Structure 1
């Protein structure tokens, strides 16, 4: 009788990794390396981020998203900015060169709260976060969450460096002052967005652009799907205690395509549950501006890309998904 195959998207408990047990660390490193070669996704438990904090953000964010459009428009931002992205602002499928209809979502977006020393970097990547006055409790909740995400990102990147057999700070040394992004994505039902057009998704098929993405999501019929060569499009596994973690294009380049940037999409409101409403908390880990991303050579890396400036690359990708 053959052994059951390992799941393409395994669950990794950070507890044994953080405790420093050598054998557990070796096993976790093998699991991470294998998963990121096949799907680019992991589920992560043992992260220490309280469920109550995540639930509190959801309650406050839903209060904002249910406000009249005329109120939300006071906080309107461009893609990659800080504030409210309304319906029709993004089409993530554009990043793959697919002319899909705009994504069926709204977002609140925030980023680093600390300005940079370089005025040119500030002009491009820094502006004060815009906090909705109508929901004052959202700010302290998000600021606490972002602090926890920064800690978790560094732990994950240390694990990823070790999983490649590199020094633990191989990635984290480039994160001294990152320009992370944080999206609260609201996926309302058809009573808000209308019936989906052909080829329209809550978020169209794409890969993320940066280093690691840490996602806290809700399960639903119109939820997250992940693409693998072996299985095609499949519903992503769900664990309410776990974060869904995937790597983005820059980290895939950094590893010389040893690891793949996780391709994914969010399905439209389902025909048999058109009123389904979901809300996701999405943390996009990024580097310090000016980081040069160079592919790790063989035998770790498999492809040698030309070095790229991390934030020049990010800006090009953000522009590519902007509608209009």
Structure 2
């Protein structure tokens, strides 16, 4: 096990005149690491809003099993998935992931457009507000990536992620049970298999003290990613972790790196002050372009002049050299690999 992952921390609270510098730092971090801590998001997503979302997540997972099963995940990637139903690394995993999850798709007029457990009925507006805030923060970051890559027009990525268009964007609540609730786990099992994310950018929110996330380093070792990296201990909430997804890596010819990561049980190998003894909760927002977005060449000289997809980028994006016509086609390939049984009968779900 390597030491803690060395991921840059970037303050994105700069004024308009300083955006160019922030954009350059974001692109440099995305190209080298694929992961970035961001802090001082201000009114974009407040500490209070994050805390409330975690409270709703815990409430949801405490729902009776039959309530969650009533909302089981469908081929639109929305709904509840139970223990072992998702296998993020099917080539290496003995069983599916040791986690349960709930995926929220789009909201309309402040209400979910999918079944939700009864415990969430009084909280549609709060869920919609948090999801919208996540999407807007992603669009802000995507605009900065456009500035940093000198894309013309600078809003090329932002325009492709129009919140009013159908897309694969998902707000996901996750609960990983503690080892005491998983007596069937064996040595070598992981809570979530090694994988890279499918979309453009991902936002990850975590609770201080809860271990598990690891990234695969260039030296092919696993490194823990602390929830609270040095220098952020006194912040109102931990910095948000941002990572590049396969689609944005593909779109930029591998210049922006999609890094393989996993969630491990990690006994004795967690970052300092973190533990895997308790349940682990996380909130994730996966941002995707509109379904019909063609993954054409990015209008950027830096991207065009990049020497091509590196071997490192290929590791992070198994579809880096495969021709993909639209954002939706790219997403469907990845979902079918993770939820094989769900997609065996294409007539099931919608």
Shorter-chain TM-score category? 0.7 to 0.9
Is the 1:189–1:269 contact (alpha carbons within 8 Å) kept by the matching residues of 2? no
Match of 1:68 in 2: 64
| Higher mean displacement: 184-193 or 102-111 | 184-193
> Contact 1:101/1:199 (CA < 8 Å) preserved in 2?
no
Equivalent-residue separation in structure 2 for 1:106 and 1:271 (angstroms): 24
Q: CA deviation at 1:186?
A: 0.6
Indicate how the Cα distance of structure 1 residues 219 and 201 shifts in structure 2: closer, same or farther if over 3 A, else same: farther
Change (3 A) 1:102 1:166: same
What corresponds to 2:239 in structure 1?
A: 242
Change (3 A) 1:141 1:252: same
Aligned counterparts of 1:80 and 1:264: Cα–Cα separation in 2: 24
1:196 has 2:180 as partner:
no
Q: 1:52 to 1:267 in 2, by over 3 A?
A: same
Contact residue 106 and residue 186 of structure 1 kept, 8 A:
yes
Please give the TM-score of this superposition, normalised by the length of structure 1. Answer: 0.84
Give the CA deviation at 1:220: 4.2
TM-score, length basis structure 2? 0.78
- 1:146 to partner: Cα distance: 0.9
What residue number does 1:299 align with? Answer: 305
Residue 38 in structure 1 maps to residue 32 in structure 2:
yes
Residue in structure 2 matched with residue 259 of structure 1 by the alignment: 256
The verdict on how the C-alpha distance between 1:86 and 1:112 changes in structure 2, with shifts beyond 3 A counting, is same
- Matches of 2:196 and 2:276, distance apart in 1: 26
Alignment match, 1:111:
105
Q: 1:244 to 1:217 in 2, by over 3 A?
A: same
Query: Aligned in 2, Cα 1:290/1:109: closer, same or farther, shift over 3 Å?
Result: same
Counterparts in 2 of 1:265 and 1:274: CA distance versus 1, 3 Å: closer
Cα 1:31–1:294 shift into 2, 3 Å:
same
Question: Which runs of 5 or more structure 2 residues have no equivalent in the other structure?
Answer: 229-236, 270-274, 310-319, 342-350
SS at match of 1:246: strand
Counterpart CA distance in 2 for 1:105 and 1:200 is: 12
Is the Cα–Cα contact under 8 Å of residues 195 and 260 in structure 2 kept in the other structure?
A: yes
8 Å CA contact 1:36, 1:259 repeated in 2: yes
Query: Equivalent residue of 2:119, what SS?
Result: coil
Alpha-carbon shift at residue 307 of structure 1 (Å) = 4.5
Q: Which runs of 5+ in 1 are unaligned?
A: 1-6, 116-126
- Distance change in 2, residues 1:136/1:300 (3 Å): same
Please, what is the CA RMSD of the aligned residues? 2.5
SS of 2:107's partner is coil
Which range moves more in the overlay, 265-274 or 188-197?
265-274
Stretch moving more, 280-289 or 307-316: 307-316
> How many residue pairs were aligned?
301
Name 1:317's counterpart in structure 2. Answer: 334
